[in-house]
Amino acid sequence: MTRAPARPLPTVRTALVLLRRHWRPAYLAAVAATLVNTVPDVVRQLLVWDDPRVWTAVLVDVVGFLTALVAQLWVTGAVAAMPEGGPLRVAGALRRGTGLAWAAVRTAPGTVAAGVALGGAVSALLTVPASVAAIGLDSVLGPLDDPPVGGFAVAAVSDVVASAVTLPFLALVLVLAGGHRLAVRATGQ
Tens-digit pLDDT profile for residues 1-15: 456 678 899 999 999
115 and 18 Cβ atoms separated by less than 8 Å: no
Nearest to 184 by CA among 45, 61, 88, 62: 88
Q: How far apart are CA 6 and CA 77, in angstroms?
A: 18
Q: Is the pLDDT of residue 182 over 80?
A: no
Taking the C-alpha atoms of residue 176 and residue 14, their distance in angstroms, rounded to an integer, is: 8
The predicted structure's pLDDT at residue 36: 92
pLDDT digits (tens, 9 = 90+) for 114-171: 999 999 999 999 999 999 999 888 878 767 677 888 988 898 899 999 999 999 999 9
Contact 19, 26 (CB under 8 A): yes
Give the pLDDT score at 4.
Answer: 67
CA gap 40, 140 in Å, rounded: 18
pTM for this predicted structure: 0.86
pLDDT (0 to 100) of residue 57: 76
pLDDT in tens, 42-90: 887 777 777 777 788 788 888 889 999 999 999 999 999 999 999 999 9
The pLDDT of residue 21 is 95
Distance of CA 93 to the CA centre of its chain: 14
pLDDT (tens digit, 9 = 90+) per residue, 99-118? Answer: 999 999 999 999 999 999 99
